[in-house]
Amino acid sequence: MVARSNVLVIDDEEIICESCNEVLMQEGYEVDTANDGPSGLRKVRELRPDLVLVDLKMPGMSGMEVLEKIKEMDQNIVTIVITGYATIESAVEAVKRGAYDFIPKPFTPGELRLIVRRGFEMRRLAVESAALREEKERMKRNFITMVSHELKSPLAAVQQYLEVILGGMAGKVSEEQKRIIVRMSVRIQNLLALINKWLDMARIEAGTLVERFEPVDVAPLIRESVDSVQLLARERNVRLELAIADSLPLILGDNETMCQVFTNLLVNAIRYNRENGRVRIETGEEGVYLTVRVCDTGVGISEEDLPFIFDEFFRVKSSAKDETTGSGLGLSIVQRIVEAHRGHVKVTSQPNEGSVFTVYLPKADRQRP
């Protein structure tokens, strides 16, 4: 047997309650009534109705208070306010506070049926939307598990086997075979890096990437990031310059993820630079923020691309000769991590003149614990 939809009518006028009860029961709804706010809220707690009609002007507890209490109990309950012609402004205010709609007194049975049907249609859409969100979250969790165990682990194993072959531990390998295996190994390494970035994005969205904050000195993290990109800089003939202040304020954050921010910015600055170009990383303070700037002499970013550079999988268009590869996730990860640290990222750029990325991080004494 299909359960019938439940309606609760809260109104101090007995005739309104009786009329609504009669009309709505004819429509197939389960109907209950209450003549004041407190008794109406008791029935909301007991019955958990799908839709509640609430009179705005009642003695004692007002309809506005009842609306707020209902929303505190259950956000999914649809509320419709009943009001006299003289209180339309109050009805509009009630809608702003979360009521679905209002019906003015006196109203006809047809008007009541129509607005209740619309309320239930809105509830149906809201319930379906919530179910879809829950399904999306379930699929996301399953995706993270699948990527971690079904893709990442086998690829890592393949990478290890290739290293064994290259080391000659499985027999002699010709130069041509080595060349092919090295190319395979590079491709697998790139795929593993992409998988790690996907996992980072999933953890960011789940709120688990930055799980523990502690006082952090960014200077050693910057130096560590610079060391990690030295080889890439030499391969691209890009000079790295550091200008780190002698004494920097601490931030509250996570060492590993902040190091990832600086590394991602440096890698981008090197990859999109020009032959014999420069990348300069410098620190400073602006008001309540510690700032870290990464300046490059690269190809720059066009005005039309700037609004999208932090979008997932977006890659800046560059010259046809450029062979730079990337996932388009680096800057998106940077922005998410910095925002998780209650900071923000600013970028200025001109085509063929380079770019400046500035990370703003609240000083430790300005952050909430």
Per-residue model confidence (pLDDT) at position 141: 67
Determine the pLDDT at residue 283.
Answer: 95
Question: Residue 140: which residues within 8 A CB-CB, separation 6 or more?
Answer: 202, 205, 206
| Predicted local distance difference test score (pLDDT) of residue 126 | 85
Angstrom distance (rounded) from CA 96 to CA 92: 6
Q: Would you state the structure tokens that stand for residue 340, as one six-digit string?
A: 């998780």
Which residue, among 255, 35, 141, 347, has the nearest Cα to 133 in the 3D structure?
141
Integer Cα distance of 238 and 189 in angstroms: 23
Distance CA(250)–CA(80), nearest Å, equals 52
Q: How many helices and strands, by DSSP H and E, does the chain display?
A: 11, 12
DSSP of 262-322, one letter per residue? Answer: HHHHHHHHHHT--TT-EEEEEEEEETTEEEEEEEE-SS---TTTGGGTTSTT------TT-
Residue 308 one-letter amino acid: F
pLDDT of residue 349: 92
Q: Which residues in the chain land under pLDDT 70?
A: 1-3, 85-87, 140-141, 143-149, 198, 200-212, 312-328, 366-369
Contact between residue 284 and residue 245 where contact means Cβ atoms under 8 Å apart: yes
Q: Residue 156's pLDDT is what? A: 79
Helices 218-228 and 255-271: crossing angle, nearest 10°?
Answer: 40
Q: Which residues pair with residue 239 across a beta bridge?
A: 278
270 close to 238: Cβ distance less than 8 angstroms: yes
3-state secondary structure at position 164? helix
How many other C-beta atoms lie within 10 A of the C-beta of residue 111? 13
